[in-house]
Chains A and B, each alone.
Chain A
Amino acid sequence: MAAEKPERGYVTIDDEECKGCGLCVESCVPKLLRLGDALNRSGYHAATYAGRGCTGCGLCFLVCPEPGAIRVYKRLQAA
């Protein structure tokens, strides 16, 4: 089994804050986000992350209208 490349980035989505608008889904170039099937507490299909492949580009965070729904992590060069 080939050694997996370390992940470059990662996002978490706060299922309680997300309003399921889908703008992050549109913005993600590698298409790693989608709206979940279940409804959250506010009655929205919150966005979910596929779990692998994020580049840490931050575009989803940029277009999301909620202040803290998305967090983006990235592997910094020096690390």
Chain B
Amino acid sequence: MPEPNVSAPPEGLTLIHSKAAAFYDHYERKSELQNQTHYCPGCGHGVAHKLLARAIDELGVQDRTVLVSPVGCSVFAYYYFDVGNVQAAHGRAPAVATGIKRARPEAIVISYQGDGDLAAIGTAEILHAANRGEAITVIFINNAIYGMTGGQLAPTTPVGCWSTTSPYGRNIWNEGYPLHVVETLASLEAPVYLERVALGNSKQVMQAAKAIRRGVENQVKGLGFSLIEVLSPCPTIWKETPVEAQRRVREELAQLYPLGVVRDKTKDAPRRPAPSFPPPLTALPELLDIEESETLAPPVPASHDHADWRIKVAGFGGQGVLMLGEVLAEAGLAAGLEVSWLPSYGPEMRSGTSNCHVRLSARPVDSPLVTQPNVLVALNEPSLRKFLPEVAPGGYVLYNGPEPPADCRRPDVRLLAREFVALADRLGDARVGNIVTLGALLEAAGVVEEQFVDRALARLVKQARLLDLDRKALAAGREAVHQEAPHDIP
């Protein structure tokens, strides 16, 4: 690319500083001015980017570096760095970086995060990544505010400072004290290198350059977790000129947040062993307690070619709601269908309500959530009331009760009301009411063949006595469909 508006240097001089090779030549985010970043004039992100790019150049790791960008002003870091790039959900960069590093231990994985991202919504991720001693490098930009969203208080905002969410200044009784990230992480055993630097003048920037290089180099050497906190100006939200903001970093932030190395175990840190590999596929059946013969999914029978069962099972906790769903999903699996099973229950272990979403489909399941069921199994009245309105027209509804309440009916669904649980009780155990209901569902709607249901039951029910009872319950449920009742399937 021709360079606009720059004069040629005199003879005999050598170019010693120019754009790092780790940056793209031009940035495709905008259609014009493709050599300019999107950062505000004087923003510390730009400087930190340059220091990181230089470290990548100097260490010669551009072709194996993966940068994980955050949510925040630096969300677009991937437009600038010519390395592997992933952009993570807000605060989740350390978790994403963990995955990448473990899958590709030879990669140099860098998590780049702001203080809203790392110290607010992502506190858990950074704490645990550090505590696990993940062999990643974290560049933590502390500008004491949320920049991208227009100036909300960050956990790092100094006491007394204005933000849109602390319009009278940060008050310790409302928002607590400024969070000291490197000191907090230094209370953990695992981190190898923790340092705080600042971008308050050229001397501080020089130290920041060294620290960032060190942080990356530690990873190149195979050491564990390194984090460099960078006190960084945000002139726009601070409502200051770039020069004033730089001064504030130097004179105020660096007083509140002392600069220096807080942890250095680079000499004596134990080397992280190579990650262990997952067991071979052939070992899985034994690990998961699956019989060999079951592992090959049979081809989808022709009768299931268009299968798309969206099933919701609901009732009291303890009625076997989740188990009913599990049997259906296992049976679908045995029949070669795509399946999902999503349990949903309240905090109570027994009483309370629970429900599960089950999908059995000839095609891959897009979402395990069932919002418009074509089968509703309601084992109690509240469940019928709650979910009947959701059922798709023409859908099946199996209700455990003599008949649905008068105000709980729909002419456009196929409703079958029977006292399934009472029937199970007569068989000898009310707990198999769920399986009686399943038998009725299979008889009324088909869904999946008996042989697959039987195989699923055999897999899920280990006790011979119960398995026997469940088989009887299935048969009783099928029979119940054919008894006369006032609210039969039309």
Residues of A within 8 A of B (CB): 6-7, 9-10, 12-17, 19-23, 26-27, 41-42, 44, 56, 58-59, 61-68, 70-76, 79
Give which listed residue, B4, B10, B44, contacts A14 with CB less than 8 A: B4
| Smallest Cβ-Cβ distance to A72: which chain B residue | B17
Give the distance in Å from the alpha carbon of A19 to the alpha carbon of B45 in the complex: 14
Question: What is the minimal beta-carbon distance from B341 to any residue of chain A, in angstroms?
Answer: 50
Give which listed residue, A10, A14, A21, A79, contacts B3 with CB less than 8 A: A14
> Interface readout for B160-191 with A: 1 if CB under 8 Å, 0 if not?
00000000000000000000000000000000
Q: Does B69 contact A (CB under 8 A)?
A: no
Q: Does B209 contact A (CB under 8 A)?
A: yes
Instruction: Write out the residue numbers on chain A whose beta carbons fall within 8 Å of the beta carbon of B18.
Output: 68, 71-72
Q: Does B12 contact A (CB under 8 A)?
A: yes
Instruction: Write out the residue numbers on chain A whose beta carbons fall within 8 Å of the beta carbon of B199.
Output: 63
Interface of A is mostly: loop
Give which listed residue, A27, A65, A74, contacts B37 with CB less than 8 A: A65
Question: What is the minimal beta-carbon distance from B131 to any residue of chain A, in angstroms?
Answer: 33
Instruction: Write out the residue numbers on chain A whose beta carbons fall within 8 Å of the beta carbon of B39.
Output: 65
Residues of B within 8 A of A (CB): 3-7, 9-10, 12-20, 23, 33, 35-37, 39-47, 49-50, 53, 80, 199, 201-202, 205-206, 209, 235, 241-243, 246
| Contact B44–A27 (Cβ < 8 Å) | no
| Contact A71–B243 (Cβ < 8 Å) | no
- Of the candidates B9, B10, B47, the one having the most CB atoms from chain A within 10 angstroms of its own CB is B9
| Contact A63–B47 (Cβ < 8 Å) | yes
| Contact B202–A62 (Cβ < 8 Å) | yes
Give which listed residue, B10, B19, B36, B80, contacts A7 with CB less than 8 A: B10
Could you jot down 22 A-B contacts, CB within 8 Å? A7-B10, A10-B10, A12-B6, A12-B9, A14-B5, A14-B6, A15-B4, A19-B40, A22-B42, A23-B42, A23-B242, A27-B201, A42-B33, A63-B246, A64-B46, A65-B45, A66-B36, A66-B37, A68-B18, A68-B23, A72-B15, A73-B9
Question: What is the minimal beta-carbon distance from B232 to any residue of chain A, in angstroms?
Answer: 10
Instruction: Write out the residue numbers on chain B whose beta carbons fall within 8 Å of the beta carbon of A44.
Output: 41
| Contact B16–A65 (Cβ < 8 Å) | no
Instruction: Write out the residue numbers on chain A whose beta carbons fall within 8 Å of the beta carbon of B7.
Output: 12
- Of the candidates A7, A15, A65, the one having the most CB atoms from chain B within 10 angstroms of its own CB is A65
Give which listed residue, B9, B205, B206, B243, contacts A10 with CB less than 8 A: B9
| Contact A67–B53 (Cβ < 8 Å) | yes
| Contact B242–A75 (Cβ < 8 Å) | no
| Contact A14–B35 (Cβ < 8 Å) | yes
Give the distance in Å from the alpha carbon of A71 to the alpha carbon of B13 in the complex: 12
Give the distance in Å from the alpha carbon of A59 to the alpha carbon of B246 in the complex: 15
| Contact B35–A16 (Cβ < 8 Å) | yes
